[in-house]
Amino acid sequence: MYEIYERARIGALPVSPTEAARALGIKTVNYSDICEIYCRSRRELYGVSLYGFSFEENGRRIIAVNELACGERRRRFTIAHELGHCLLGHISKFGGAKPAAAQEHDADSFAADLLAPLSVLKKCGVSSAEELARVCGLSRSAAEIRFAELTRCSLGSDELRVIMRFSGFIDKYLQCRLTSESRVSLYKRY
């Protein structure tokens, strides 16, 4: 994951999955563009997936997102999930085989790792699913799953590089936390 942050120059939350994909040469396009470029109907795309899918065309990897079905948070997770499929070698030509259930699981794990790096969240002292959802731009349900992982995890040594990359963000976040916490305790006092 560190290499992706490094290549996309990502060092703050929320992580932009579109930027990460772009840095790796993977284009993100809306379903309306896919319909136009590849002369497909929306119905055909919905047959593949309601939210998004990825495919390979002339050696280029493309992520397609349904702009009508995805709000901002779902869009971000969908792109990150599809980026996982691309990088884990799950994709084929347009209309090819759909990923297997185990591959879907791996793509979900990839998306969570990309959008919500546990090492950074731990350093930021994120202490609830709501806070995690807010800082990472995740849906409440995705944030709850990730928060459970956060409370269970211990930091691996390879995560130090990620922490270093996000160090400026972590410092700022901790300062803001401190300020808002002291404000809250002031309110409580008076």
Which of positions 95-154 make contact with Zn ion (CB under 5 A)?
A: 104, 107
Question: 27-31: long-range contacts (C-beta < 8 A, 24 or more apart)?
Answer: 27/60, 27/61, 27/62, 27/63, 28/62, 28/63, 28/65, 28/79, 29/62, 29/63, 29/64, 29/65, 30/64, 30/65, 30/66, 30/67, 31/64, 31/65, 31/66, 31/67, 31/68
Q: Which is nearer to Zn ion, 107 or 126 (CB)?
A: 107
Nearer to Zn ion, 121 or 142 (CB): 142
- Rounded to a whole number of angstroms, the minimum distance from the CB of residue 50 to Zn ion is 12
Nearest partner of 11 among 146, 167, 117, 123, judged by Cα: 167
Indicate the residue among 56 and 104 with the shorter CB distance to Zn ion: 104
- Would you say 100 or 178 has its CB closer to Zn ion? 100
Residue 84 CB, nearest distance to Zn ion (Å)? 8
Read off φ and ψ for residue 93, nearest 5 degrees. Answer: -65, 160
Q: Which of residues 33-62 bind Zn ion (CB under 5 A)?
A: none
Compare residues 28 and 119 and give the one whose CB is closer to Zn ion: 28
Taking the complex as a whole, the smallest distance from the CB of residue 99 to Zn ion amounts, in Å, to: 5
Pairing state of beta strands 27-30 and 52-57?
Answer: unpaired
**CB of 81 vs Zn ion, minimal distance in Å:** 5
CA distance 116 to 15: 8
Residues that contact Zn ion, how many (by CB under 5 A): 2
The CB-of-131 to Zn ion minimum distance in angstroms stands at 27
Q: Which residues lie near Zn ion (CB under 5 A)?
A: 104, 107
